[in-house]
Amino acid sequence: MDKHFTVTIHDDNGYKQFNLHKFVKKAFLYAGLFLLVLTFIAVGTILYLDYSVDEVQKKRDAIEQAYEAMKKQNRELEESMEQTRSSLLEKKKELHQLSDSLTEIETLIGLKPLGDESLAERVSIAKLSSAQRATLLQLLPSGSPIEYHGITSKFGYRVHPTLGTKEFHRGSDMKAKLNTPVYATADGLVEWAGYHKRSGFGRLIILEHVYGFKSYYGHLNRVVVKSGKFVKKGELIGYTGNSGLSNGPHLHYEIRFIYRALNPFYFIKWTQQNYNEIFQKEHKVPWQSLITATSRIKVIPQMQIQPSSQPEQKSQEK
């Protein structure tokens, strides 16, 4: 069997013939098939890689979009935070201005902050008008019950001038001549008016006021009111004397709040001009709640307390 084949090539120069072995033919055939398969594989690989690149690009685009959206949200959040900070700074500035304005108002009306009150509490106190403050001074013991000439025995521990024993003096002994007029220091109900032997105060008047306050007027020479009668601030209630355990004419004056003795001197000094001092010195009274309770009450004073002389700052009792 002939294992050769002839390849004839015709061109302008004539014919050329090549006698080749059939193995070469097969080699070319296999080479062609290999190249064809290789081409298919390459095309498939390119298509797969192109698809993969597209998918990666899509994911990359999605990530970039998410990143841009996140950047936008962060910018919006930063802008919002900046606006909030600016708003807070503005509010803080307004509060400082309000506090400064409130301080000026407090100074104008003679009211100083008591301590660590909030701005709202300071405003509630400062909102009290002169009429409202006058109402508080009308309802609670304030001012001197007699024309003021000094204190002979102040509030606190002392040696009793008659008994000679050390005791706690619950009031202030006010210097006064015999039969000096005594006036109510606030509106109230006469709880006691007469001789009170057990206390040693002799002729005694006890006035019951609002919100748990009471005032005591002892060692009187004469009482001109009766128990159960309502009296107004500035109304005459008696005359000073020397009754009971006393070593001379004077007025024993006491202020009590829910049975607790308070320093009367602070209340004797308590006027429109010295309105804020009592809040700083007398801490046994819950002033803020009391002021809140009386802020909407308005009382028109019918009488003015007669004694006009008030204790000076250089008085014996501080």
- Rounded (5°) CA angle 29-30-36: 90
- Alpha-carbon torsion 255, 258, 262, 266, what sign? negative
Q: Which pLDDT score, from 0 to 100, does residue 24 have?
A: 65
Q: Which pLDDT score, from 0 to 100, does residue 300 have?
A: 63
b (16+ CB within 10 A) / e for 25-60: eeeeeeeeeeeeeeeeeeeeeeeeeeeeeeeeeeee
Evaluate if residue 306 carries a pLDDT over 90.
no
- For residue 153, give the 3-state DSSP assignment: strand
Q: Which pLDDT score, from 0 to 100, does residue 116 have?
A: 62
In the CATH hierarchy, which fold is given to the domain comprising 130-294? Glucose Permease (Domain IIA) (2.70.70)
The separation between CA 101 and the C-alpha centre of its own chain, rounded to angstroms, equals 17
Q: Which pLDDT score, from 0 to 100, does residue 123 have?
A: 65
Give the pLDDT confidence of 244-302 residue by residue, as tens digits.
888 889 999 999 999 899 999 999 999 888 888 898 899 899 888 888 787 777 766 55
Evaluate if residue 27 carries a pLDDT over 60.
yes
Q: Which pLDDT score, from 0 to 100, does residue 256 have?
A: 95
Q: Which pLDDT score, from 0 to 100, does residue 168 have?
A: 85
Q: Which pLDDT score, from 0 to 100, does residue 198 have?
A: 87
Q: Extract the tokens encoding 120.
A: 């709202």
Q: Which pLDDT score, from 0 to 100, does residue 316 have?
A: 41
The rounded mean pLDDT for the chain is: 82
Give the pLDDT confidence of 49-89 residue by residue, as tens digits.
888 888 888 888 889 899 998 989 998 998 889 888 888 88
Q: Which pLDDT score, from 0 to 100, does residue 257 have?
A: 95
**Quick one: pLDDT band at residue 313, thresholds 50, 70, 90?**
very low
Q: Which pLDDT score, from 0 to 100, does residue 293 have?
A: 80
pTM score: 0.58
Over residues 184-203, mean pLDDT: 94
Q: Which pLDDT score, from 0 to 100, does residue 149 have?
A: 92
- Rounded (5°) CA angle 79-81-83: 70
Q: Which pLDDT score, from 0 to 100, does residue 150 have?
A: 93
Over residues 135-163, mean pLDDT: 86
Evaluate if residue 169 carries a pLDDT over 50.
yes
Domain ranges of the chain: 1-107, 130-294
Percentage, residues of the chain above pLDDT 70: 74
Q: Answer left, alpha or beta for residue 234, where phi above 0 means left and psi between -120 and 50 means alpha.
A: left
Q: Which pLDDT score, from 0 to 100, does residue 49 have?
A: 87
* Higher-confidence position of 17 and 302: 17
